[in-house]
Homo-oligomer: A and B are copies of this chain.
């Protein structure tokens, strides 16, 4: 049952007097469960108990935290069909996607459990003392990663599970030893409450301190603003629009004590089609990309919104086939009227730009909240001179830029904003002749793909999901994979500290048996 209440730690609470309902975009009507927004007082309570919980939670063993994360995964599974029903009712996404995303969310939690269980991840580094050193004795120094403090997580509209309440940001924070306060996404607040209930159950059954997790509802921006400005909040994770992410970043930067905001934001994910590849397989590339552009109604941060090629017969074939293929695909429901409305508005803005030509798009009747895909094209020069065309149109939209020559292609790439991904479509050897193109593209992205599609973000250690601004607010951190834990920790040094009072990771005996850097060498040895 969805109560519509907030979780202030393990207490359900609904002191506020603003109430809203989530929306079923497939049925085009409100869901029946009413959600109560958190009051300013509830925001404060959640942060205060998180700060209190931090004192003990930040110090418990990796094994205990792993147990907690695994229990969350189990409790999510135990939510059963109800979770899938509420998920689909709040997102318009199909049941198969709900199941897939649930599996991914559980997989992330388990991956973090494995990652932190041993203690290797704390990067234990030891320099032993040299009391006889001249002219000055060398002290004993031991360094490891420790948790930052309470983290506020803003869920994403487009991933109600994997990038929301118990998503990657939350899993990484809890793994690091940071209590989490989720600002629930208003579009799927019911899903959020169910997941929150699973986390709370897991926290209770594994003996975690109250306050290690809270879930706050809000349909507006006030709750989020209060959270980001609260002095006891030490970091923020966000997945969403550039506008939203930048607003939080600015707010955090203006605090008396600025805190890091790791926001993963928009991206047009440029795809470069090299000439020989176009000569040889323009049609099949076009078919693949018609699929990648429209998958999930284009509601992925890695959606290929920009395709670049040099004018040629091959490119002409590509745009023709893309135009044919794109209309064959049945549109699907978007997440919310606000999302489909924004898509229509941003698409209209793009289509009104001088020089932009529609290649093809779905034109038949569609149900309410569905997104009609469209692919467009423009000359290189026109693209270069119109920054509006560089902006993401969130939804099933893509723009093919037809460059005059390779030199223009390189310039265009070098002028792009920061991106999550860049893709090169190449006949096997041809890419070696385009070092300038590749080098410029690498400079603008966080991940580069050879002969693939940017959609589909594998959750693994070698994945970097982030990129130069505005793909993210700090290109030095990933939002996906176990290294995303690095966002929520800081190194800490102990100098001449008594061995028995050191954390296990730094003790002489190496009781965790982890790999450590001792006097500049990697070893599992004792001291």
A residues near B, CB below 8 A?
Answer: 55, 114, 125-127, 136, 138-139, 141-143, 146, 148, 249-250, 253, 257-258, 260, 417-418, 428, 431-432, 438-439, 442, 446-452, 456, 458, 460-464, 466, 468-470, 473-478, 483, 486, 489-498, 501, 515, 517, 520, 522
How far is the CB of A523 from the nearest CB of chain B, in Å?
Answer: 11
When chains A and B are docked, how far (Å) is the Cα of A14 from the Cα of B449? 46
8 cross-chain pairs, A with B, having the tightest CB-CB distances, nearest first: A253-B253, A141-B462, A464-B493, A447-B493, A127-B462, A449-B495, A127-B460, A475-B490
When chains A and B are docked, how far (Å) is the Cα of A456 from the Cα of B496? 13
Q: Is the CB of B476 within 8 A of A483?
A: no
Q: Is the CB of B464 within 8 A of A143?
A: yes
Q: Known: A461-B517, A461-B520, A490-B476. Contact between A448 and B495, CB under 8 A?
A: yes
Q: Known: A253-B250, A456-B136. Contact between A489 and B476, CB under 8 A?
A: yes
How far is the CB of A53 from the nearest CB of chain B, in Å?
Answer: 13
Q: Is the CB of A496 within 8 A of B125?
A: no
When chains A and B are docked, how far (Å) is the Cα of A346 from the Cα of B84? 63
Q: Known: A258-B473, A476-B489, A490-B475. Contact between A501 and B431, CB under 8 A?
A: yes
Q: Is the CB of A141 within 8 A of B460?
A: yes
Known A442-B492, A464-B492; further 14 A-B contacts with Cβ < 8 A: A114-B520, A127-B463, A138-B458, A138-B460, A143-B463, A250-B253, A431-B501, A446-B490, A446-B492, A446-B493, A447-B494, A447-B495, A450-B494, A515-B522
Q: Is the CB of A491 within 8 A of B473?
A: no
Q: How many copies does the complex hold?
A: 2
Q: Is the CB of A496 within 8 A of B136?
A: no
Q: Which residue of the partner chain, among B431, B439, B515, contacts A498 with CB atoms under 8 Å?
A: B431
- CB-CB under 8 A from A496, the residues of chain B are 449-452
- CB-CB under 8 A from A438, the residues of chain B are 501
User: From A54, which residue of chain B is reached at the shortest CB distance?
Assistant: B443
Q: Is the CB of B493 within 8 A of A462?
A: yes
How far is the CB of A488 from the nearest CB of chain B, in Å?
Answer: 9
- CB-CB under 8 A from A432, the residues of chain B are 501
Q: Is the CB of A126 within 8 A of B462?
A: yes
Q: Is the CB of B492 within 8 A of A447?
A: yes
Q: Is the CB of A461 within 8 A of B258?
A: no
When chains A and B are docked, how far (Å) is the Cα of A253 from the Cα of B260? 11
- CB-CB under 8 A from A483, the residues of chain B are 125, 143, 491
Greatest chain B CB density within 10 A among A148, A257, A473, A475 is at: A475
How far is the CB of A328 from the nearest CB of chain B, in Å?
Answer: 23
Q: Is the CB of B501 within 8 A of A448?
A: no
Q: Known: A55-B439, A257-B470. Contact between A139 and B458, CB under 8 A?
A: yes
How far is the CB of A414 from the nearest CB of chain B, in Å?
Answer: 10
- CB-CB under 8 A from A55, the residues of chain B are 439
When chains A and B are docked, how far (Å) is the Cα of A56 from the Cα of B210? 53
Q: Is the CB of A495 within 8 A of B452?
A: yes
Q: Known: A456-B136, A469-B258. Contact between A478 and B491, CB under 8 A?
A: yes
User: From A489, which residue of chain B is reached at the shortest CB distance?
Assistant: B476
Q: Is the CB of A141 within 8 A of B493?
A: no
- CB-CB under 8 A from A439, the residues of chain B are 55
In the assembled complex, 28 residue pairs joining A and B whose CB atoms fall closer than 8 Å, in A order, are: A114-B520, A125-B483, A126-B462, A127-B458, A127-B461, A138-B458, A139-B458, A141-B458, A141-B462, A142-B462, A143-B483, A148-B476, A253-B258, A257-B417, A258-B469, A428-B498, A432-B501, A446-B491, A446-B493, A447-B492, A448-B494, A450-B494, A462-B493, A464-B493, A475-B490, A476-B489, A476-B490, A478-B491
When chains A and B are docked, how far (Å) is the Cα of A2 from the Cα of B125? 42
When chains A and B are docked, how far (Å) is the Cα of A446 from the Cα of B170? 25
User: From A250, which residue of chain B is reached at the shortest CB distance?
Assistant: B253
When chains A and B are docked, how far (Å) is the Cα of A462 from the Cα of B125? 5
Q: Is the CB of A249 within 8 A of B257?
A: no
Greatest chain B CB density within 10 A among A55, A483, A491, A522 is at: A491
How far is the CB of A315 from the nearest CB of chain B, in Å?
Answer: 23
How far is the CB of A62 from the nearest CB of chain B, in Å?
Answer: 16
- CB-CB under 8 A from A458, the residues of chain B are 127, 138-139, 141
Q: Known: A460-B127, A463-B143, A473-B258. Contact between A450 and B495, CB under 8 A?
A: yes
Q: Is the CB of A141 within 8 A of B463?
A: yes
- CB-CB under 8 A from A501, the residues of chain B are 431-432, 438
When chains A and B are docked, how far (Å) is the Cα of A432 from the Cα of B478? 39
When chains A and B are docked, how far (Å) is the Cα of A34 from the Cα of B125? 46
Q: Is the CB of B492 within 8 A of A257?
A: no
User: From A472, which residue of chain B is reached at the shortest CB distance?
Assistant: B490
- CB-CB under 8 A from A473, the residues of chain B are 258
- CB-CB under 8 A from A249, the residues of chain B are 253, 258
When chains A and B are docked, how far (Å) is the Cα of A452 from the Cα of B131? 13
- CB-CB under 8 A from A498, the residues of chain B are 428, 431, 450
- CB-CB under 8 A from A431, the residues of chain B are 498, 501
User: From A483, which residue of chain B is reached at the shortest CB distance?
Assistant: B491
